Structure 1
Amino acid sequence: MATGTAEMPKLGDETSYRNYFKQSPMLLILVALAAVFTVFVDNFVSYANFANMARLFAPLLILAIGMTIVFIAGGIDLSVGSTASMASVVCALVIQHTGIVALGFAAGVGTGLLIGAINGAVIAFFRLPALVFTLAMLLTVRATALLMTGGYSVGKLPLSVLAFGRGSFLAIPNLLWVSIAVLLLAALFLARSRRGREIYLVGTSERAATFNALRVTSTKFIAYLVCGGCAGLAGVTIVARLGSGGPVVGDNLLLSGIAAVVLGGTSIHGGEGTVFKTLIGTQIVILLEKGLNLFGLSFYDQAIVMGAVIVAGASFSAWMHRRQSTR
């Protein structure tokens, strides 16, 4: 079980490079996709395109990081997309009624934490199946958001919201800085904290973790709590990017988030994965979505290509994992 990230190879050390790519096989696919789109798609390599991709990339990466932690713990959360939508609605409503942007952002993240706490409490303490309960939460949260807004977006927010969401610092979009901060905090949490190590152990074997007197119940609760918080923050970044919130703005994030986590190589059976691998998976998803769109493919053609790449990438990662395990 690998609980850390792959060490960067030393310059000129071919063996180290070979081992690094074995631990992150999807990195080769990421490089190949970037090369293909650079050659065949006009204006793909431009600051405007990269800045746009970075703003799309930020909410997906933040949400996928939360999903990664739940996957490592041996769980699943199907409610993350609806949670992001609900968080965007609450965030936008609070800003609209108070005019305080920071309060709205905090309310959005708090909404995600609340939904994550409900998921974690029911799944960890009452032992309801995660697949069933989070599916029920997906429907409940989505319906609640639609009732709160009447099915419409919540806009007319202060210009400072868009100024932050579309602004940059040191030529890097602000939202990308936020996602990088979340990535580093999550990596430190998983690799350096006792609770992070327990998440790996619980995901590897919940029964063995129980016999070794680990805090299984509270560990699973924290995994879902963090996942909900990440989904809430993803919803807040959507508000900052669009200047509005809506009851369905996060719906596409669920499938894209699962794709990013699986393509990154995190095991759906638990106990294995890192947020840095999810970073690679997220880059692949965004590259595909943006590159195929610029290439001129229709939505349905893009869905077919995306599905084929997900299956191929997941199969390749599984094959590499089995090969390394055999050796």
Structure 2
Amino acid sequence: MNVQWSRWRKSPIFYPLIGFIVIFIAMALVNDNFLTSNNLSNVARQVSINAIIAVGMTCVILTGGIDLSVGPVMALAGTVTAGLMIAGFPPEVAVLAGLMVGALFGACNGTFVAYAKMPPIIVTLATMGIARGIALIYTGGYPISGLPNGFSFLGRGEVFGLQTPILIMLVVYVLAYVLLNKTPIGRYIYAIGGNEEATRLSGIRVSRYKLMVYTLSGTTAALAGIVLTSRLMSGQPNAGIGFELDAIAAVVLGGTAIAGGRGAIIGTLIGAMMLGVLNNGLNLMGVSPYVQNVIKGGIILLAIYISRSRDK
């Protein structure tokens, strides 16, 4: 029993899960409306967007990188998808094009990071501005509305009583879990973050897998942007502002080491849920958004401190 407990405590998701349970119970105790079915459903729907983005961000951070461009990329993918539907393209074609836009931006990030050997934070900061600028140019700074009713299924529909955004989130996490835990690609991603030089010397094409994770990050950001566009039934060029920070926060709170090499995709989901519950609970309590930022920042710092302490 002691051996099993010791092993469980060393799991990357141990502290995130404890943190989530504590925050969930605290919010339930301080506000009677928190545990209502409508509120919990609303939390899950809101969490789904950030959680989808955080999947790609997890893979990037596991390699020791960072992607600051996910917010603008989701806005660009959403506006491109909306614009194509307004132009008469079927929703399926428009969605595919939006995903390709995200993958293209991710691939550009990966190319500069993996092959040009540029710092990830500089590369993605630059493409962050580029993606946002293109979205604003494409839309003229105005939302694109009047989308076909059938497109709303991705953001507002239900499948067997489960909201579509939540279902999409769950499918993405299952696929990510398989990728990271059941395939050689996952082992290479962890190895690159653990010791990139040793991984390269062992014959692994590090640049190829770095390109892959940034492409994945762009694709998941685009998917989140399309789901958000469907929910709003409008392509918003200013969507996704600050979402990169929420995604990074979800990854860090989920127990992934900010330096890479250690973490779990399930922990990221827990981290996203923790943020969602915290935001919702504080809103129900009427806490000022400025105070909320201070609280969330403090929690993220604590999570990083705990992560670094465990690494030592």
> Given the two structures, how large is their TM-score scaled by the length of structure 2?
0.95
Q: Structure 1 residue 151: deviation in Å? A: 1.5
Q: Detail structure 1 runs of 4+ shifted over 4 Å in the superposition.
A: none
Q: Is 1:55–1:241's contact at 8 Å kept on the other side of the alignment?
A: no
User: C-alpha distance in 2, partners of 1:38/1:292?
Assistant: 11
In structure 1, how many angstroms separate the alpha carbons of the residues matched to 2:249 and 2:187? 24
Return the match for 2:48 from 53, 58, 64: 58
Q: Which residue of 2 aligns with 1:269?
A: 259
Asked whether the 8 Å contact 1:58–1:237 carries over to 2, the reply is no
Structure 1 residues 20-79: Cα deviation after superposition (integer angstroms, max 9, x where no partner): 344221211100111111111131112211221122111111110100000111211111
Residues 102 and 21 of structure 1, relative CA distance in 2, 3 Å threshold: farther
Identity across the alignment (%)? 35
Q: State the AA in 2 paired with 1:20.
A: W
For residues 193-218 of structure 1, give each alpha carbon's deviation from its aligned partner in whole angstroms, at most 9, with x where no partner exists: 11221111111111111111111111
- Which of 222, 227, 232 aligns to 2:222? It is 232
Q: Once the 2 structures are TM-superposed, how far is the Cα of residue 293 of structure 1 from its aligned partner?
A: 0.8
CA deviation map 1:176-199 (0-9, x unaligned): 110111101011111121122111
Aligned to 2:275: 285
Following superposition, the deviation at residue 258 of structure 1 comes to 0.7
Separation in 1, partners of 2:283, 2:64: 34
What is the match of residue 64 of structure 2?
A: 74
Letter in 2 for 1:293: N
Segments of 5+ residues of structure 2 without an aligned counterpart are none
Cα root mean square deviation, aligned: 1.6
Contact in 1 for aligned 2:47/2:276 (Cα 8 Å): yes
How much has 1:316 moved relative to structure 2? 2.7
CA contact (8 A) 2:153 2:164 kept: no
Contact 1:72 1:200 in 2 (8 A): yes
Aligned to 2:8: 20
Q: Give the corresponding residue for 2:120.
A: 130
Tell me how far apart the structure 2 counterparts of residues 269 and 318 of structure 1 sit (CA, whole Å).
9
Q: Deviations over 1:256-297 (max 9, x none)?
A: 001001111111111111111111111111111111111101
User: Residue 56 of structure 2 contacts residue 216 of structure 2 at CA under 8 Å; is this kept in 1?
Assistant: yes
Aligned residues: 310
Q: Distance in 1 between matches of 2:154 and 2:188?
A: 37
2:247 counterpart letter in structure 1: G
Q: Report the Cα distance in structure 1 between the residues aligned to 2:79 and 2:6, rounded to whole angstroms.
A: 46
Contact 1:34 / 1:287 at 8 angstroms: preserved in 2? yes
